[in-house]
Amino acid sequence: MRLRSANLDECEALLLTGQADFSITYSLDSDNSDHRAAMTMEAFIANERLIPVYGTQSVKEMLWRFHTGSLDVIAYPADVFLGIVVERQIFPRLERQCRLNIVAETALTLAAMQMASAGVGVAWVPEALAQADLRDERLSDLSGQLGGLEMQIVARKRAEDAPDLHARIWNALSRAGAVVP
């Protein structure tokens, strides 16, 4: 088994060209997946929230700056899934309330989370990834003030028949949720 990490478009291309047998990705309810429907099957695995986090020790000061019209944020590059999501779904809403200052950019959610913990800026990260830091109060969840976003984790495979091993793997993945043709 070989596991690769890639952007959503690349994952879809690898899957559709037969270079990958399965993909596990984030998805939004608003995603237009009509172009995939005829060629792939999808299995819902879990819900996930994209939440804004910041270092607990400095959160009061950061919220004061937000309420006075300025918010330092850690962004993702525009060519990665979370970058597209944050740019289209989260930043426009916040820009009506304050001026956003992009103080750092990274494609790595763990790096964004660490920078947020250090007080560099607010980062939107998958809630499951931040659980330990939230529990240990190194990070604060600012969804109530800045808003989060509901996402899903989905598995995909080509709709064509596959070898028995692939069928067993798909059955295990799809037991985690519901298969959607």
Handedness of CA 13, 16, 17, 19 (dihedral sign): positive
3-state secondary structure of 123: strand
Alpha helix (H) residue ranges in 24-163: 34-37, 59-67, 81-85, 91-95, 109-117, 127-135, 143-146
Of 10-24, 76-90, 128-142, 145-159, the one with minimum mean pLDDT is 10-24
Q: Does residue 39 have a pLDDT over 50?
A: yes
Say whether pLDDT at 99 is over 90: yes
- Could you read off the pLDDT of 148-162 as tens digits, one per residue? 999 998 888 877 766
For position 32, what pLDDT does the model report? 55
Of 30, 143, 44, 34, the residue nearest 89 (C-alpha): 30
Q: How does DSSP assign 19-61, residue by residue? A: S-SEEEEEE-TT---HHHHTTEEEEEEEEEEEEEEEEGGGHHH
- Span 79-100, average pLDDT: 94
What domains are defined for the chain?
1-181 (3.40.190.290)
CB atoms near residue 91 (< 10 Å):
16
179 membership: H or E segment, kind and range:
strand 179-180
Amino acid letter for position 38: A
Nearest to 61 by CA among 137, 130, 142: 142
